[in-house]
Structure 1
Amino acid sequence: MSTPPRLVLASASPARRQVLTRAGLNPEVIVSGVDESSAKAESPADLAGRLAELKARAVVERLEVTGPTVVIGCDSVLELDGVAHGKPHTAERATERWRAMRGRTGILHTGHHVVCHDEDLHPTARTSVGSTKVTFADLSDAEIVAYVATGEPLGVAGSFTLDGFGGAFITGIEGDPANVLGISLPLLRRMLADAGVEWTSLWSGSNSHR
């Protein structure tokens, strides 16, 4: 693409936007509105990929594409004992999950789906899933209660964050840490390159659509 692409992030996650911003990108955010609870898949990794695809497609359908455009959809789930865990939403569920997670290792799967329109408005789509092992500290019941009381774990996949209150409770990461924050930059760069988009064309200053 010779014309700088319009960059759209199909996610309400502040962490994902911050990861992109710190990497020199400045996406516009359009929330997909997808009902995550309705998605089904054969495995936690497949579920993450499916949700990312649904989010990106929902936003693409609402866009008026007039030139080179990149839409990024992402979604994360934590796999523990072969089961996918998304956002707990309630304090009771977050507490229950932390009691199951403490002292153990889970896999954080983040699905990435990109839809890239070239100068002729031809779309190219790619889906990939990044997986990172996360080891949790052996929290006491009191620590779990205190953490859940912050409200942070209620609205995030797996009931934890790496870049907030929950960071002190993560004792090990095996893989890309940014994937745990919700978007893997190396994986995304490879996907975009495969779709014909140069990563450096997305650096802020090149992206004029706001």
Structure 2
Amino acid sequence: MALRPVGRLVLASQSPARLATLRSAGVHPEVVVSGVDESGVEAGSPAELAAVLAGLKAAAVAELLAPDGLAEDTVVVGCDSVLEVDGTAYGKPHDAEVARRRWQAMRGRSGVLHTGHALRAGTQVRTATASTRVSFADLDDDEIDAYVATGEPLQVAGAFTLDGLGGAFVREIEGDPHNVVGISLPLLRTELAALGFSWTSLWALRA
């Protein structure tokens, strides 16, 4: 079956890292922030939580764009990431002391970064989660304090980045590195194909 081109791609996320990742791959989506309140959302596992949150974001933006239904060639992509350590899901710490305690607990250890991906096109909906194991360096307290003081870890899932100041503190990853940044390009390509869309058609789009 021949894959058809995407007519309009909308990213339901305010994450600069996700947008930068897509742009570096030649994909230039529109950005519409969902406004979904993530607090109080629960799921059976951290991976399921990431998928549920991604689905809520995609649904909210689809409703904003087209209350009567999306066009068949419009694709809305929602994403959400959580870090799982010892079976517990960690999102954005927001608070400096929370970020400090988080790093004191996970330094020298490993966790799994789950990113949920939800795609909506016309009446079709697909949801999938990519998971990447992340091993952290054994930071001393001064390094943790210095990193927290930059403010970077306060606004990112798991209190770390791979593509920013936190990159020096990530010792090893097992899996898709894009997923750690917040959006898995291989998974997104596969899910678009499942909806009948060509990944390479996105290279021609300009928001």
Give the equivalent residue in structure 1 for 2:14: 12
Give the equivalent residue in structure 1 for 2:82: 77
* Structure 1 gap segments, 5+ residues each: 118-122
> What TM-score, normalized by structure 2, do the two folds share?
0.94
Q: How do 1:105-116 and structure 2 match up within 5 A?
A: 105-116=110-121
CA distance in 2, matches of 1:183, 1:95: 25
CA-based RMSD: 1.2
Q: How do 1:10-49 and structure 2 match up within 5 A?
A: 10-49=12-51
Q: How do 1:160-199 and structure 2 match up within 5 A?
A: 160-199=160-199
CA distance in 2, matches of 1:207, 1:136: 37
In the alignment of these two chains, the number of paired residues is 202
Deviation at 1:38, TM superposition (A): 2.3
Runs of 4 or more above 2 Å deviation: 1-4, 64-67
* Structure 2 gap segments, 5+ residues each: none
CA distance in 1, matches of 2:164, 2:92: 16
Deviation at 1:4, TM superposition (A): 4.0
> What TM-score, normalized by structure 1, do the two folds share?
0.93
CA distance in 1, matches of 2:151, 2:4: 45
1:106 aligns to what SS in structure 2?
strand
Give the equivalent residue in structure 2 for 1:52: 54
CA distance in 1, matches of 2:5, 2:86: 46
Q: Is the Cα–Cα contact under 8 Å of residues 71 and 121 in structure 2 kept in the other structure?
A: no
Give the equivalent residue in structure 2 for 1:120: none
Deviation at 1:2, TM superposition (A): 4.8
- Alignment pair present for 1:126 and 2:126: yes
The 1:197–1:3 alpha-carbon spacing in structure 2 relative to 1, beyond 3 Å, is: closer
